[in-house]
Amino acid sequence: MSASQSAVRSRAEAVAVSRTFDWMILFTLFTVVLGGYHIHYMLTGGDWDFWTDWKDRRLWVTVAPIVSITFPAAVQVMLWYRYRLPIGATLCVVALLLGEWINRYLNFWGWTYFPVNMVFPSNLIPGAIILDVVLLLGGSMTLTAVVGGLAWGLVFYPGNWPIIAPLHVPVEYNGMMFTLADLQGYHYVRTGTPEYIRMVEKGTLRTFGKDVAPVSAFFSGFVSIIIYFLWHFFGKWFNKTDFISGEDV
């Protein structure tokens, strides 16, 4: 090919071609990130995300933010540092939530008949917006990790509180007191997941009650900072454009 020759015949055609590629690239990036992020999230924090009776004040609040800050940190490396698009975290979370909502409707409800108000996914959007805004305003990976990462953990429970609160009110049932969410799990039997597998509200200091969620959120934010750093560098590696020779494979 000639080094000086253009593949297009006019500026208008170049613009049209470029825009078409934009859409094809966006679709592919969106769906591949959706698939990778979803399989990661469902297998590292999924059980707490699937069922309302797993959405407790301790382990859900601790685990979900820590395992979900991974892909946003990596995709921000590409979209911000290469293309100056401050939407890396939001794109990941919107993709993940779309995949989850489709699944909860068509499969959790449509195939195994659980009510959607028992199987809705956790809301990660507030944290994603904060992560992107901190990166946009600060332009710094360190600032985004420390401020954004901490905020990611801290806002998770408040961001989900309006949704989960009605299911955390106490009820008395057959002489026992538990939450409405527990009652859902009691009535909708999951034979393949017996009660002894459910990991909720385990610990010692939780006896004192009111401090459980804030302490969990703060610890989660702390670990999210570390995970952000780690996944930023994973993201850098995945952005490489290197070629290797056939002998290396």
CA distance linking residue 78 with residue 85, whole number of Å: 9
**Stretch 148-207 residues interacting with another protein (CB under 8 A):** 190-194, 197
Task: Give the residue with the Cβ less far from another protein, 175 or 194.
Answer: 194
Contacts with another protein, 3-32, as mask; x by CB under 8 A: --xxxx--x--xx-xx-xx--xx-xxxxxx
Which residue, 62, 63, 28, 61, is CA-closest to 43? 63
CA distance linking residue 219 with residue 227, whole number of Å: 12
Q: Which of 52, 90, 103, 179 binds another protein (CB under 8 A)?
A: 103
Task: Give the residue with the Cβ less far from another protein, 208 or 237.
Answer: 237
Helix, strand, or coil (residue 224): helix
Length of the chain: 249
Min dist. Cβ of residue 83 to another protein (A): 8
Min dist. Cβ of residue 122 to another protein (A): 14
Q: Which of 162, 175, 209, 246 binds another protein (CB under 8 A)?
A: 246
CA distance linking residue 29 with residue 188, whole number of Å: 37
- Identify residue 248 by its one-letter amino acid code: D
34 is a site residue for another protein (CB under 8 A): yes
Which residue, 120, 118, 122, 121, is CA-closest to 182? 118
Q: Please enumerate in sequence order all residues whose Cβ is within 8 A of that of 77, keeping only pairs 6 or more positions apart, or say none.
A: 88, 232, 235, 236, 238, 239
78 is a site residue for another protein (CB under 8 A): yes
Min dist. Cβ of residue 211 to another protein (A): 25
117 is a site residue for another protein (CB under 8 A): no
128 is a site residue for another protein (CB under 8 A): no
74 is a site residue for another protein (CB under 8 A): yes
116 is a site residue for another protein (CB under 8 A): no
Which window, 37-45, 144-152, 202-210, 218-226, contacts another protein (CB under 8 A)?
37-45
Using an 8 Å Cβ cutoff, are 49 and 41 in contact? yes
- Terminal Cα-to-Cα distance of the chain (whole angstroms): 29
Min dist. Cβ of residue 41 to another protein (A): 9
CA distance linking residue 64 with residue 181, whole number of Å: 18
Task: Give the residue with the Cβ less far from another protein, 49 or 57.
Answer: 49
* Strand pairing category for 170-173 and 176-179: antiparallel
Task: Give the residue with the Cβ less far from another protein, 34 or 128.
Answer: 34
Q: Please enumerate in sequence order all residues whose Cβ is within 8 A of that of 147, keeping only pairs 6 or more positions apart, or say none.
A: 134, 138
Min dist. Cβ of residue 207 to another protein (A): 25
137 is a site residue for another protein (CB under 8 A): no
